Chains A and B, each alone.
Chain A
Amino acid sequence: MPESKSRIHIIKRLGGWVVKKEGAERATRRFSTREEAISSAIEYRSKGHDLVIHRRDGTVEKWLKRDQ
């Protein structure tokens, strides 16, 4: 699997925050707050995915590497 396809993104969308796999056309899950979205997505790290947490403006605030 190419490295970029293994990234999971936390993205602001339509008044809430979504969890989305890179390259996917649709979000996996939707939450009211960013904190909820991060808590939900943190499990992906143990499955070999990097977690990319975005700011409201789309830029990257934090990059959590996958668990080794």
Chain B
Amino acid sequence: MKNAGFERNVFINCPYDDEYRTLLKPLLFTLRYCRLSPRIASERLDSSEVRLHKIIEMIRESKYSIHDLSRVKSSKKGEYYRLNMPLETGLDLGCKEFHSEDKYRDKKLLLLEGERYSIHKALSDLSGADVKCHYHEAEKMVESVRSWLVEVGLPQIPGPNSIWYDFNDFNAGLYSDFSRNGFNAGQIEMLPMPEFLDYMDYWMEKHLEDDGDSGA
């Protein structure tokens, strides 16, 4: 996804495993639909880049950030809990609090959880932060992110029905266009993220820009 500048960039801190794609896709779509530019670590596949440096760069370039902490807990006995996401949340909070430039004081952070109040149980220091629950559902992800964008004061945010219905239409377009090009259903589901993002931009341009409004 393109760097749209500090005021439009949204840093995404989330898991990048296959299971999470069901939530990542609607999250990315909602942001792009609202004319924001999501920045994710897998947006470009350059193995020579040190991951942490890439993340710090994206935090520095983004006024907004979304930290999904719904998957930090180990899911079975003997499995480690995941520390990357809390680490990146801490880096972002540190940037907001300690950076010498004034613009970083106005950073806006959203914390996402999968079960109500789970973040406060694990990270009570974050009490008072903006937390929303997506209940591990794509539809709720759209609604949570959209509500937060309204709450932080972004103008002309489309309604939740528009975003969710258009996300479903977008998925049909993706399926149709890639099937026509010889992809099977599994390959379409697992498209590399840069390819998925490119198609999303193409779809948005084709379906929304022509409307002359925000797509609401």
Contact = CB atoms under 8 A, between A and B. Distances in A.
B169 A63 contact: no
Contacts, number: 63
Contacts of A63: 172, 175-176
A11 B165 CA distance: 8
Contact of A58 (B25, B162, B176): B25
A54 interface: yes
Which of under 10, 10 to 19, 20 to 34, or 35 or more describes the interface residues of B?
A: 20 to 34
Contacts of B25: 57-59
Which of under 10, 10 to 19, 20 to 34, or 35 or more describes the interface residues of A?
A: 20 to 34
A7 B162 CA distance: 17
B26 interface: yes
B134 to A, nearest CB: 12
Interface in B163-205: 164-165, 167-169, 171-176, 185, 189
Interface of B: 22-23, 25-26, 137-139, 161-162, 164-165, 167-169, 171-176, 185, 189
Given A24-B165, A54-B172, 14 more contacts: A4-B176, A9-B172, A11-B168, A22-B172, A23-B169, A25-B162, A52-B172, A57-B23, A57-B137, A57-B138, A58-B168, A59-B22, A60-B175, A63-B175
Interface of A: 4, 7, 9, 11-14, 20, 22-27, 52, 54, 56-60, 63
